[in-house]
Chain A
Amino acid sequence: MHGGRALPYLLIAPATFFLAVLFLVPLAQTVALAFQADGAWSFANFSTMADDLNFHDAVVNSFRLVAVAVPVQFCLALGMAMMLRHVRRGRDILLWIWSIPLGVSDLAAGVVWLAILTDHGYLNSVLFHLGVIDEPTSWLTYETPVALFFAVAVAEIWRATAIVLLILVAGVQVLPKEYGEAAAVFGASPWRGFVSVTLPLLKPSIQTALILRTVLAFEAFAVVLAIGGNNFPVLVSEAYHWQHFNQDTGVAAAYAMVVMVISIAATLVYLAVLRTPPGQRA
């Protein structure tokens, strides 16, 4: 073929150019923005960030949210994927329904759970019927930090379990049935087979799901603003505030840097801990 050598490069050129301009350049610029103040290189933005009243809360809240939401999502999705293996009729419709939250933005998910958890909301109506409370009660103020945290966590879990489920289901689908059958033949209980055969085989999918979910959970912010307003600061909501209300891109960039460093560190940890040696892949 004439030009056969150049063709693949021509085909990837537009995408490469696009990503270079709109991904690599902004990435470098954010670093510059974060480490520059008044035209000189400095840590001023980072010290402004660290001195900010909300900084400590934002870091703690972000980590707490990830620490609760991601494991729950993972276990829930794994349970759902395992249940689906035993479903024959109606599997497709179940999968569709269960993946609906995939299309829901974190802003919309926040609003949905606000409707349920607000003073005159559905949760309080249930509690009223059960005789737990007599009148509308507030759960989402700074006076009820624990309830507020769980409200945000529930909304995040509700929205983003679907993505973990999809990745795991996709992984389960390519698992060879023979391995599980072999385990059963040698007398392994279903639980034993699950822990010793299914889980290790699913490791690549589990790794992908955990990386994606952890990175995205550190990015959650609209869900937090919708449910808790400013009562529950997280890292990205602080970045949004510094950019939007204080018009200070430098400090916002410093927050973005923190999120980036955490994301990369989390990714590396998952890559190392859940490594699949070549040759062991299913």
Chain B
Amino acid sequence: MTASRALLLTGLTVVTAWVLVPIWLIAGSAVGGQALISTWPKPFWPVSASLSQITEFLAIDGVWPSLLISVEVAVMCMIFSILLGAPAGYALARFSFRGATLFRLMVLLTRAFPVAILALPLTVGFIRLGVYDTPLGVALMHTTLALPFAVLVSASLFQAIPRELEEAAWVFGCSRISAALRVVLPLALPGIAATAIFAFVISWNEVFAASVLTVRNRTLTAYLLAVLSESPLYTQFTGGFLLIVPSVLFIFLVRKQLFAMWGIANR
């Protein structure tokens, strides 16, 4: 048994290193100073660490605004996805109605289509509506990516809450809506919060639509992609690192719900 135990430990260590070492190295490249970029051979332990590279990156013309736009877009996407997705999820969980299967199918279908096919014609449509090159436009596009997820996950969240609790509230004189808001919603809140955070991450990370739908008001990903070829390496590394930091934190926050969410979303 000890031999297989050792094998298991080795496997676990190798996989963990495979995931973490690249993140360690990009973090090192982001705080190691500009001189590190041309240092050869490279030290694996940063010789000096400072935040100067990050503050300099943020001072580059256009970076700070694009960071704010990224946050703005992601927050809007998060709000839209939950406001539209949670009621639909509740309907799927609590009612059997004609068209429920069709609705579920439409929601599932959106996941099978590439972003490119949705984003390209929107450039034309958004110019007409006056939302081209605005955070709102990008947020609307990102909501189509996050909404299917929000609908399916909230449907299963509500399904997991016993119907009896709601019925008891009706008996005590709650209306359907106030029972849903005062009894069901608080119970579903941790799961909904996790879904919201996931919508934020989907939007924060999206590159194609954000690049195509903006010209001056770029998100951080769109900005980085646009300047990629003309930027020095240390700028690229710092930008890449800054893109990763919030995602890692968010994944940490939702780690408890992550598996429940995926287990459900896939049924």
Does B11 count as interface, using CB distance less than 8 angstroms? yes
Determine whether A75 belongs to the interface, using a CB cutoff of 8 Å to chain B: no
CB-defined contacts of B130 to chain A, threshold 8 Å:
none
Q: Do A18 and B147 have beta carbons less than 8 Å apart?
A: yes
The interface bits of chain B over 118-136 (1 if a CB of A lies within 8 angstroms of the residue's CB, else 0) are 1111111100000000000
Q: Do A11 and B117 touch across chains, with their CB atoms under 8 A apart?
A: no
Could you tell me which residues of chain A, from 63 to 115, have a CB within 8 Å of some CB in chain B?
76, 79-80, 83, 86-87, 92, 94-108, 110-115
Band of interface residues on A: 35 or more
Q: Is B51 close to A, CB under 8 A? A: no
Cβ of B267: which chain A residues have Cβ within 8 Å of it? 204
| A51-59, A120-128, A143-151, A179-187: which lies at the interface | A120-128
Q: In the assembled complex, which residues on chain B have CB atoms less than 8 Å from the CB atom of A116?
A: 22, 25
Q: A7 contacts the other chain (Cβ, under 8 Å)?
A: yes
**In whole angstroms, what is the CA distance A107 to B207 when docked?**
7
Contact check, A171 vs B266: say whether CB atoms are below 8 A apart: yes
Q: For the complex, give the distance between the alpha carbons of A260 and B103 in Å.
A: 21
Chain B stretch 79-102: residues in CB contact (< 8 A) with chain A: 80, 83-85, 87-88, 90-92, 94-95, 97, 99-100
Contact B22 A113 (CB under 8 A): yes
B12 at the interface (CB under 8 A from A): yes
- Hey, which chain A residues are within 8 Å of B90, CB to CB? 11
Contacts of A111 in B (CB 8 A): 26, 224, 236-237, 239-240, 243
* Complex CA–CA separation, A149 to B119 (angstroms): 27
Q: Does B113 contact A (CB under 8 A)?
A: yes
Knowing A215-B114, A244-B211 are in contact, say whether A15-B84 is a contact too (CB < 8 A): yes
* Contacting pair A212 B111 (CB below 8 A): yes
Q: How large is the interface on B (under 10, 10 to 19, 20 to 34, 35 or more residues)?
A: 35 or more
Contact A94 B236, beta carbon cutoff 8 Å: no
Q: Are the C-beta atoms of B255 and A18 separated by less than 8 Å?
A: no
Say yes or no for A39: interface residue by CB 8 A criterion. no
- B41 in contact (CB, < 8 A): yes
Decide if A236 touches B114 in the complex (CB within 8 Å). Answer: yes
Complex: how many Å from CA A170 to CA B260? Answer: 7
A100: which of B19, B116, B259 is its contact (CB, 8 Å)?
B19
A129 to chain B, nearest CB (A): 6
**Complexed CA–CA distance, A142 and B9 (Å):** 40
Shortest distance from the beta carbon of A276 to any chain B beta carbon, whole Å: 12
- Cα A222 to Cα B63 with chains together (Å): 18
B2 part of interface (Cβ distance < 8 Å): no
Q: Report the minimal beta-carbon distance from A133 to chain B, rounded to whole angstroms.
A: 10
B115 adjacent to chain A (CB < 8 Å): yes
Please judge, given known A-B contacts A170-B262, A244-B212, whether A15 and B118 are in contact too, CB under 8 Å: no
Asked if B258 is an interface residue, CB under 8 A from chain A, the answer is yes
Known contacts A98-B15, A166-B259; is-contact A249 B84 (Cβ 8 Å): no
Q: Are A87 and B114 in contact (CB under 8 A)?
A: no
| CB of B53 within 8 Å of the partner chain | no
The listed residue with most A CB atoms (<10 A of its CB), out of B8, B107, B240, B267, is B240
Query: CA separation between A7 and B87, bound complex, in Å?
Result: 10
Which chain A positions have C-beta within 8 A of B18?
158
User: How far apart are A99's CB and chain B's nearest CB, in angstroms?
Assistant: 6
How far is it, in angstroms, between the C-alpha of A96 and the C-alpha of B179 when the chains are bound?
35
A112 near B26 with CB under 8 A, answer: yes
Complex contacts, A102 vs chain B, CB 8 Å: 251, 258
If over half of A's interface residues share one DSSP class (helix, strand or loop), that class is named, otherwise mixed; here it is helix
B206 to chain A: which residues have CB within 8 Å? Answer: 105
Is the CB–CB distance between B11 and A259 below 8 Å? no
Would B44 and A105 count as touching, CB distance under 8 A? no
A115-B29 in contact (CB<8A): yes
* Chain A residues whose C-beta falls within 8 Å of the C-beta of B233 in the assembled complex: 114-115, 118
**A77, B97: Cα distance in complex, Å:** 38
Closest chain-B Cβ to A55's Cβ sits at a distance in Å of 15
Point out the residues of chain B lying under 8 angstroms from A232, CB to CB.
Answer: none
Whether A103 contacts B247 in the complex (CB less than 8 A), given A208-B266, A212-B111, A239-B120, comes out as yes
A44 to B225, CA, bound (A): 29
- B207-A12 in contact (CB<8A): no
Query: Is A26's CB under 8 angstroms from B91's CB?
Result: no
- Where the two chains meet, the residues of A that have a C-beta atom closer than 8 Å to any C-beta of B are 1, 5, 7-9, 11-12, 14-16, 18-19, 22-23, 25-27, 29-30, 32-33, 76, 79-80, 83, 86-87, 92, 94-108, 110-116, 118, 120-122, 124-125, 128-129, 135-136, 158, 166-167, 169-171, 173-174, 204-205, 208-209, 211-212, 215, 218-219, 221-222, 225-226, 229, 236, 239-240, 243-244, 249, 252-253, 255-257, 259-260, 263-264, 267
Can you show 29 pairs from A to B with CB atoms below 8 A apart? A8-B100, A12-B91, A16-B88, A18-B143, A22-B118, A23-B113, A26-B122, A33-B120, A95-B259, A96-B252, A99-B258, A100-B251, A104-B205, A104-B247, A105-B204, A108-B247, A111-B224, A112-B23, A118-B233, A121-B42, A122-B44, A128-B40, A170-B263, A204-B267, A211-B112, A239-B116, A240-B212, A244-B211, A255-B116
Top 9 A-B pairs ranked by shortest CB distance?
A111-B240, A103-B247, A170-B263, A105-B205, A29-B121, A11-B91, A125-B41, A8-B95, A256-B116
